[in-house]
Amino acid sequence: MTYKISYTFIVGLICILGSLYTSFFFHLNDIIKVADSFAYFQMSHFLQSLSIEWFWNGWFGFLYSLPIAAVNYVIHSEVLAARIVNIILLNISALLLWKVSRKILSQNWSYIVLILFFIHPTLLHFRIHILSENIYIPLFLSLFLSVIIFIENIHSYKKSVSQTILIACLIWLMYLTRAEAFIYIGSIGIIALSLMIKWSIDIKKFLSLGVVFFITFFLFISPYLFFLHSLTWEWWLTNKWASNLRQAELRGQEQMDDSWFERAVAELTSDNKHLIAGFAGWMPYSKPSIEWSLKNFILKDPTWFIDRILWNQKKLYTTNFSELFLGKSPQLYHSNDTRFSHLGFLVIVLIPIFIFLHGLRELYKKQKKYFGILLSFFIPACLFFTLFFTLNRYFLIFIPFLILIFCYGASQRNSFKYTSILSWVSMICYISLLLLSTFVYYNTESPKDSYYELKKEAGVWLFQNIENPQELKIMERFPIVTYYSDSKIRYITPYTSNIEDIYEYGLHNDIDILIADSMDFQTYRPELSYILSKTPDNFKLLKEFTNSKEQKVILYKLKK
């Protein structure tokens, strides 16, 4: 009993300190800066009144908004509600990771896994923002743990059935968070097939479990499928296909948030009244005007398609996984003002990578079951996402396992001479890199505040000076002014070089105000940046906001 109390106390203490550490960085998001956060707050707003009025485009999963709505119903502060939810989900993730790590690591090494999990800077970024990864990670850890329990009870049919139902429900919940989670059905298939081969278990038993899985999954998912069908009049698991294929076609392979991405998400149809790919952030869903299919995407130019996959695979294993494992600390290697010599810094980076690769090898040799489960989840993600484009957030759910593999490698002290010293050196190097990465992240985020404060000021001014601001239709690329005006409707500013196109689009959709701001029009729509100093035709200057850094936010009212 003493043993249980002691480890429970230490895990609880790590969770409390980790939560306080995360809370210290919340001020970096005192002003909502991420566009997707608007969507989750809007769904939360309507969920409180049990309404799906503005779920009209079906783009964002709503599960993350449910706990925010529940907490906000009590405390009446949606930002604080979201932070409370994030901290709760963070601690649930930590406890699940503890359970997983104890399957292959000692108690002391499991403590280290938790500490690294709490201080990891890439995860930190998503914890302080209102983003669905906060609930997606604990769901994924729950799924992984459930698969382990399923395998441990494989010879008990009754337990296998109940665990199969649980696994189906977890994938369903992940799907309601992020639609692409359906790819992990393939992971379950890989695991089931490997179990049949390894243990020669009766195929009838596995077929019956497969039937239970699919009936459970589609039974729960069917209401949402009918909802999507009511929007699109097509039967699909997601309505993102058209936009994702268009993004994959136009997006730069190295630069993810470039002008081509802007075009992909906000390009106009030929009549200038709708957005081509149906992606509209928070406006009612518009069926894409151009038909894209995966078949045409592949066969249109097979050489280009293969080259794209190979490029994305290379990017995944070099750039993406480097950032997921080490954070932004490698940026210091290229910095002119770094205090480290290039050779010295390279050694600090390479030691944790070496220990991670060693851990991967040892996991394969000594823990084939866990290695196989992890590989079964990674393969569908690796294949699916590299068809289109690779972003860190698509692989964020694997960071806890990268930490786990690193600690497993450091714990294998019988593989090398002087491994005890090497383990501690690698741990010091890795923690130093994570903290340096946090330093880079902190100093990157802080200077942005002045610009976002200006946008918040514009939004608050609208809230205070416009009648019925919740019904205000605002056209804005990043909906910060929209959020602080209390508007519940979002329209993306179209990607175009002609201001008349924007006016025509705005007139057709009965939009009230266009937001012209420095970041959007100087960075992403430079050909229209003149409207930051000159009022265009068919628009009326409503209010202009500037700051000491010569940044601007201008509210233009559409003449109707």
Instruction: Output the six-digit token pair for 155.
Output: 């010879």
Is the C-alpha dihedral spanning 145, 21, 403, 123 positive or negative?
A: positive
Contacts 24+ apart (CB under 8 A), 208-214: 209/160, 209/161, 209/164, 212/161, 212/164, 212/165, 212/168, 213/164, 213/165, 213/167, 213/168, 213/188, 214/168
Nearest one of 222, 215, 269, 202 to 242, comparing CA atoms? 269
Residue 223 falls inside a structural domain:
no
Contact predicate 356/322, CB 8 Å: no
Query: Rounded to an integer, what distance in angstroms lies between the CA atom of residue 135 and that of residue 66?
Result: 11
Give the span between the Cα atoms of 100 and 120, in whole angstroms: 18
Determine how β-strand 490-491 pairs with β-strand 474-475.
Answer: parallel
- Is residue 190 in some structural domain? no
Query: Which CATH number does the domain housing residue 457 bear?
Result: 3.40.190
The span from the CA of 384 to the CA of 354, in Å, is 28
Separation between Cα atoms, residue 451 and residue 549, nearest integer Å: 9
Pairing of strands 539-546, 552-558: antiparallel
pTM score of the predicted model: 0.91
DSSP 451: H
Specify which residues 491 forms β-bridges with: 475
Q: DSSP alpha helices (H): ranges in 398-498?
A: 399-411, 419-445, 449-465, 480-485
Q: Report the 3 state secondary structure along 150-203.
A: HHHCCCCHHHHHHHHHHHHHHHHHHHHHCHHHHHHHHHHHHHHHHHHHHHCCCH
Dist. CA 459–CA 475, nearest whole Å: 13
Sheet containing strand 513-517, edge to edge, reads: 490-491, 474-475, 513-517, 552-558, 539-546
- Other residues' Cβ atoms within 10 Å of the Cβ of residue 195: 17
Contacts of 340 (CB under 8 A, 6+ apart): 332, 333, 348
Q: Which residue has the tokens 């009648």?
A: 467
How high is the pLDDT of residue 8?
Answer: 85
Q: Residue 505 falls within a domain, yes or no?
A: yes
In sequence order, the 6+-apart residues with CB closer than 8 A to the CB of 23 are: 83, 87
Distance CA 487, CA 507 (A): 18
- Mean pLDDT in order along the chain per 10 residues (560 residues): 68 95 91 87 86 66 93 92 96 96 93 96 93 96 95 84 95 93 93 78 81 94 84 72 73 57 78 70 51 73 85 88 84 55 75 92 91 94 87 92 95 64 86 89 76 92 91 90 89 89 91 91 88 92 90 92
What is the rounded distance in angstroms from the CA atom of residue 422 to the CA atom of residue 296? 52
In a domain, residue 431? The reply is no
Closest CA to 93 of 124, 48, 70: 124
Helix (H) or strand (E) holding 39: helix 35-47
C-alpha angle with apex 218: 223 to 245, nearest 5 degrees?
A: 80
Q: How far apart are CA 207 and CA 60, in angstroms?
A: 33
pLDDT score of 289: 53
pLDDT digits (tens, 9 = 90+) for 129-157: 999 999 999 999 999 999 999 988 888 88
Judge whether 69 lies within some domain: no
Contacts of 386 by beta carbon, 8 Å cutoff, 6+ apart? 309, 312, 313, 316
Q: What percent of the chain has pLDDT over 90?
A: 47
Beta-carbon-side half-sphere exposure of residue 461 (alpha carbons within 13 Å): 14
> What is the token pair recorded at 400?
């806890």
Name the residue range of residue 505's domain.
448-558
Examine residue 474 and state whether it is found in any structural domain, yes or no. Answer: yes
Domain-located, residue 240: no
Token pair, residue 329, equals: 């600390």
Residue 131 Cα to chain centre, angstroms: 6
| Domain count across the chain | 1
